[in-house]
Amino acid sequence: MDSDIKTFRDLMIEVQQRNFCGKCGGCFSFCSADNLGALEVGSDGMPRFADEEKCLHCGICYMICPNIHELDEELRKKTNWEPPIGAIKDLTSARTTNSSVAQRCTDGGVVTSLLLYLMDHHLIDGALVSQSDGPFHRSPHLATSGEEIISAAGSHYDESFPLVRLGDHYLTYSPTLYELRKLRTHHISRVAMVGTPCQIHTVRKMQVLGVLPSDVIRYYFGLFCMENFSFNDFQLEALGTKYGFNPAQIAKVNVKEDFFVYLKDGKVIHIPFEDIDLIARPACLVCPDFSAEYSDISFGGLGSPKGYTTVLIRSEKGKWVYREALHAGYIRERRYSLKNDARSESIKAHGKVIGFSQRKRERAERNRAAAVCMAAQSVHG
Ligand SMILES: Cc1cc2nc3c(=O)[nH]c(=O)nc-3n(C[C@H](O)[C@H](O)[C@H](O)COP(=O)(O)OP(=O)(O)OC[C@H]3O[C@@H](n4cnc5c(N)ncnc54)[C@H](O)[C@@H]3O)c2cc1C
């Protein structure tokens, strides 16, 4: 046994005890996909030892954690990363041409439309998505049909999920990586994954290490992400009181430049990020990646008008899927009256994404340094 290899015990000290663990489940998914059985997930969503004796000290759980940056250099080479926010081949603004997708989607429905293109053309067997199963709540899902992909679109909350149904705890984060461990038993070999930057980061690192089942992920669709939220009834009521809305009247939420709450009567409430940092998950506050830098394509609302998705194409594969879906009529690009407008809008959007990325990276550096300092102080009494 090589004592230099860091294991889950080191993750407990370096990540969990500092409150950096985002509960993405990457470590647990790898360990259980290979039936090693050393790890399990507690009722609080936190990975822990199920049986430490079974730990092979392989160090993989440590290296794939999105909070550990040992493999970042290799990952950057693999994805042709360039400063300041990774590879960029093109930046466009587009929307779906499918009316069912348009009704459900978050922004322009481009994510769902590209997944549909891949599925309809038998280029994937499944898509790792996240279903809305209540207000401020989603569950990971491996969609194997177009209908399932469409039903996982967007962030509309059905009337059938009243707030009370989920108890008093709300979480916008969806632990999509838990589904990874099932991929091998589903006999599915080509999957497109939709995920937040931390999730894409973990699976890409699994690929760098050649760890199963990351080999089945063929397309990485990343979502811009400033932060995810975890809060209770009390905090939701307090936000409602401060911003003058009744939480029971929420129809949809969206995160773009800030946090937007859409009410059933058509009103839109705009809440600045600074006001909701208090209910952000602590792990998000130390995450440095806003634009899902290791994706084939990244998507967000930032930089596009209402009803459109900003599409940041990063790899040749991403460029190919986007172009094919566009030519096949699954999506339509934003139209401009003057040719130069397209270019200037694209430059503006690019600037916004870089600005938000810098803001997130600086916040992460500040919070990480503070947490490490606090941990050191507690060790030295
Ligand atoms: C937690 C979160 C934070 C975000 N923050 C920002 C932000 O700060 N700024 C910004 O511009 N954009 C942000 N986005 C991205 C934005 O909300 C849209 O997802 C994006 O613009 C794509 O829109 P669309 O209409 O093309 O996607 P759709 O066609 O509606 O498809 C969305 C896809 O994302 C999947 N999905 C939804 N929620 C999750 C989740 N929690 N985890 C994993 N997959 C999920 C769905 O299953 C679906 O496949 C965020 C998204 C999420 C999920």
Instruction: Give pLDDT, residue 33.
Output: 63
Ligand 1 center to residue 223 CA distance, Å? 5
Distance 216 CA to ligand 1 centre (A): 22
pLDDT score at 135 = 60
Q: Which atom of ligand 1 is nearest to the CA of 131?
A: 47
- Determine the residue of 106, 191, 277 to mutate for testing ligand 1's pocket, defined as the one with the most ligand atoms within 8 A of the Cβ atom: 106
CA of residue 91 to ligand 1 center, whole Å: 17
**What distance in angstroms lies between residue 27's CA and the mean position of ligand 1's atoms?**
23
Rounded Cα distance, 214 and 127, in Å: 13
| 238: phi then psi, degrees, rounded to nearest 5 | -65, -40
In this model, does residue 34 exceed pLDDT 70? no
For residue range 6-17, list pLDDT tens digits in order.
Answer: 999 999 999 999
What is the structure's pLDDT at 204?
95
Separation CA 374–CA 361 (nearest Å): 20
Given a cut of 70, whether residue 230 has pLDDT beyond it is yes
Q: Beta strand pairing status for 169-171 and 90-96?
A: unpaired
In tens, the pLDDT along 123-135 reads 999 999 998 776 6
For 12, which DSSP code?
Answer: I
Average pLDDT, the chain: 89
What share of the chain in percent tops pLDDT 70? Answer: 92
Give the global pTM.
Answer: 0.93
Residue 248 pLDDT level (bands cut at 50, 70, 90): confident
pLDDT of residue 81 exceeding 90: yes
For residues 311-332, give the mean pLDDT: 98
Distance in angstroms (rounded) separating the CA atoms of residues 106 and 302: 12
- pLDDT given at position 273: 85
55-69, 144-158, 282-296, 344-358: the lowest-pLDDT one: 144-158
The residue whose C-alpha atom lies closest to atom 18 belonging to ligand 1 is 300
* pLDDT for the residue 274: 83
- The Å distance, Cα 10 to ligand 1 centre, comes to 32
Nearest residue by C-alpha to atom 16 in ligand 1: 300
Position 62 confidence tier, pLDDT thresholds 50, 70, 90: very high
- In the reported structure, the alpha carbon of residue 257 is separated from the centroid of ligand 1 by a whole-number distance in angstroms of 13
- The pLDDT of residue 303 is above 70: yes
Residue from 223, 287, 299 whose mutation best tests the ligand 1 pocket (most atoms within 8 A of CB): 223
Share of residues in the chain with pLDDT > 90 (%): 62
- Burial, 273: exposed, middle or buried (Cβ in 10 Å; 0-12, 13-18, 19+)? middle
Structure tokens at 2: 């090589």
Query: What does the block give as tokens for 154?
Result: 């967007």
Query: How would residue 2 be classed by pLDDT, with cut points 50, 70 and 90?
Result: low
Whether 83 has a pLDDT exceeding 60, the answer reads yes
Contacts of 254 (CB under 8 A, 6+ apart): 106, 107, 155, 260, 262, 301
Among 89, 145, 88, 102, smallest CA distance to 331 is for 102
pLDDT digits 0-9 by tens, 168-219: 567 777 888 778 777 766 678 899 999 999 999 999 999 999 887 788 999 9
Summarize pLDDT for 135-166 with one digit per residue, the tens.
677 788 899 999 999 999 986 544 444 333 34
pLDDT on residue 162: 38
Report d(CA 353, CA 356) in Å as an integer. 5
CA triplet 14, 198, 11: central angle to 5 degrees?
20
Q: Whose CA is nearest to atom 45 of ligand 1?
A: 130
Cα(205) to centroid(ligand 1), Å: 22
Please compute the mean of the pLDDT values over residues 62-67 and round it to a whole number. 94
Q: Residue range 72-100: average pLDDT?
A: 97
CA of 378 to the centre of ligand 1 (A): 38
User: Residue 185: its pLDDT value, please?
Assistant: 67
* Cα separation, 250 vs 264, whole angstroms: 6
Summarize the confidence of residues 255-275 as an average pLDDT: 89
The answer to whether residue 257 scores a pLDDT higher than 60 is: yes
For ligand 1, residues with CB inside 6 Å are 105-112, 129-130, 138, 152-154, 172-174, 176, 194-196, 223-226, 228, 254-256, 299-302, 309
